[in-house]
Amino acid sequence: MGIFMILFTLLGGITLSAQSAINGTFSRKAGTIETTFLTFITGTMFLALIILFFGQGNLFAIFEVPIWQLSAVFLGVLFLLFNVFAVPKIGVIATSITVIIGQLVIGVVIDHFGWFNSLVIPLSMKRWFALLFMIIALYFIYKGNKRSIEEASANIIN
């Protein structure tokens, strides 16, 4: 089951990067906020069909959970909106690495303090180094992107 979950999550990462690239391109024609809206409205319709045929949960649980748990909905919208905005400006890989760094930073904090009923996993040197190496990777990817864009622009002019 562990290998299946890793492969399943890997597929999720692949689809997320593909979605980011497509939405970034789409946003140039439709607009950033409009692209985000269309993504969510289409996703809502798709999920409504899945719930209709396969759903086993309780949609009305929305009225029974603490209000802070509903913040996840808005966080998801912000995540997609920021991605749609960033991809055309810094590229898919720089956006993806930045997202991963953000996930790692807040993940380390959540684990360290045990927020949201998660396991308490103290911050260690290994985790600090992992964050540092991700930031270094982002630096090189971003600088490489800028250089490639400048070279492409110079070739167009010539």
The pTM for the full model equals 0.76
Q: What is the pLDDT of residue 145?
A: 81
Could you tell me the mean pLDDT of each successive run of 10 residues in the chain, 158 residues long?
85 88 92 94 95 91 88 89 90 89 91 91 92 92 82 72
Q: What is the pLDDT of residue 158?
A: 62
- For 153, the token pair is 């622009």
- For 122, the token pair is 């103290």
Q: Exposed/middle/buried for 150, CB within 10 Å: 0-12, 13-18, 19+?
A: exposed
Q: Which residues of 44-58 are buried (b: 16+ CB within 10 A; e: fewer)?
A: eeeeeeeeeeeeeee
| DSSP label of 111 | H
Q: Which amino acid is at 140?
A: F
Q: What is the pLDDT of residue 17?
A: 87
Cβ neighbours of 97 (radius 10 Å):
20
Closest CA to 145 of 104, 97, 100, 103: 97
- For 102, the token pair is 């953000």
